[in-house]
Amino acid sequence: MLGEQRVQHLFFPSTRAECIRILRLRLGFTQGEVAEKLGLSREQVSKMETSFLHVSETLWDFMLDQAYRQLYSDKNVSYEDFKSTVSRLIHNRAKEDRHG
C-alpha cells in the first residue's frame, strides 16, 4: 500500500475541487491549458475548482495522472494505488472537517 505521508506532502485537501486546483497550480498549468487539453472551457474548469460544478471524472483522472507522472517519485506504486490513496485521504480529511 502507498505510504500516506508520501502523498500528503503533495496535497491534503478535503474535496476533489480543492485537489484539482492545488494540483493544477503545482503542475504549472493554467485553467485555460487544462481546459484545452480536455476539450472544456476555462470557465468549466474554474467552476469545478470552486465546486460550482461537479469535478468530472475526465478532469479528475487527467490531474491525478499528471501528478503521478510528474510529482510522485515512487514508481513501484501503481497508478491505481496512487489514485485510491489520494481518494481515501480526501475522504478522511472531509470527515475530519465535518467532525471538527
12: which 3 cell numbers?
Answer: 491534503
Amino acid at 38: L
Rounded CA gap, 89 and 84, in Å?
9
Give the pLDDT of residue 97.
67
pLDDT in tens, the chain (100 residues): 445 555 544 456 778 999 899 999 999 999 999 999 999 999 999 999 999 999 999 999 999 999 999 888 777 888 899 899 888 888 887 777 676 5
Give the pLDDT of residue 1.
46
Rounded CA gap, 32 and 14, in Å?
24
Domains of the chain (ranges; CATH) run 4-99 (1.10.260)
48: which 3 cell numbers?
Answer: 469545478
